[in-house]
Amino acid sequence: MRKNIVAGNWKMNTTVPEGLELAKEVNAAVAAATPKCDVIICVPFTHLVPVAQAIDTNKLGLGAENCADHAKGAYTGEVSASMVASTGAGYVILGHSERRQYYGETSETLREKVALALQNNLKPIFCIGEVLEERENGTYNDVVRKQVEEGLFNLSAEEFGNIVLAYEPVWAIGTGKTATAEQAEDMHAFIRSVIAEKYGKEVADNTSILYGGSCKPSNAAELFAKPDVDGGLIGGASLKCEDFMGIVSAF
Ligand code: PGA
């Protein structure tokens, strides 16, 4: 059975002391609440080690927001998948639209990153989603299909079983404009059908597909009630423990 997951994406926010405080707060809230879903926080590289030491990673998952497309060596400023794994993190967000848009990440680099993440026992949270123009001109299904196929369909079915998908319409990220629950469900069901074509129904049914884009306590329950929406990838609202836990408790 697929898992329900709520994952925070802190992006480039908080200093180490601030992030440590937030992580401790979320850790305590998760311990007190016994949530009905897996809860994960994805934090800046600098925060991984102190946060891993401060939280119970059996109850609160920890992830990075990116990793390098090379295993090791002369890549100044990069952080490898094995370095991320060595901190105690178990997840890594890959292919976020901000990485694709501002840092030129392509399906080709993402295939390398996914392979390295899997080799190091990190579960990728692989992001896909169309921009506003593609939503408006009706090509959004084709765009998302291409992102899934090009980024992931070189994997074996067994490898694919470690992938968490996050559908994040770019027009909904940080804009306050959420996809309707129906728009999210339509896309999630479509993504699941694309996975089923390639890997079969069982693999598709076992894949967690999260929604991301202005998800907040007030709209999470409606989104998560949809049969193909298995949780959320939360940006802005993951920076406040109360808001993040409000989304967690939507399950
Ligand atoms: P948002 O970001 O919740 O602030 O819209 C979501 C994301 O980019 O993962």
Q: Using the mean position of ligand 1's atoms as its centre, give its distance from the Cα of residue 225 in Å.
A: 19
Tens-digit pLDDT profile for residues 171-187: 999 888 889 999 999 99
Q: Using the mean position of ligand 1's atoms as its centre, give its distance from the Cα of residue 166 in Å.
A: 11
When pLDDT is averaged across residues 93-117 and rounded to a whole number, the result is 98
Mutate to test the pocket of ligand 1, among 65, 128, 215, 238 (most ligand atoms within 8 A of CB): 215
Q: Please give the Cα distance from 78 to 103 (Å, whole number).
A: 13
Kindly list the catalytic residues: 96, 168
Q: Which atom of ligand 1 is nearest to the CA of 127?
A: 9
Domains located in the chain, CATH noted: 5-248 (3.20.20.70)
Q: Are 147 and 167 in contact (CB under 8 A)?
A: no
Any idea how long the chain is?
A: 251
Q: What's the token pair of residue 185? A: 């469900």
User: Which of the four pLDDT bands, split at 50, 70 and 90, describes residue 1?
Assistant: confident
When pLDDT is averaged across residues 104-125 and rounded to a whole number, the result is 98
Helix axes 241-248, 16-33, angle to 10 degrees: 30
Q: Which atom of ligand 1 is nearest to the CA of 174?
A: 5
Q: So what's the pLDDT on residue 104?
A: 97
pTM, 2 dp: 0.98
10-25 burial, b at 16+ Cβ within 10 Å, e below that, comes to bbeebeeeebbebbee
Q: Are 240 and 4 in contact (CB under 8 A)?
A: no
By the 10 Å C-beta count (0-12 exposed, 13-18 middle, 19+ buried), 74 is classed as: exposed
Tens-digit pLDDT profile for residues 8-52: 999 999 999 999 999 999 999 999 999 999 999 999 999 999 999
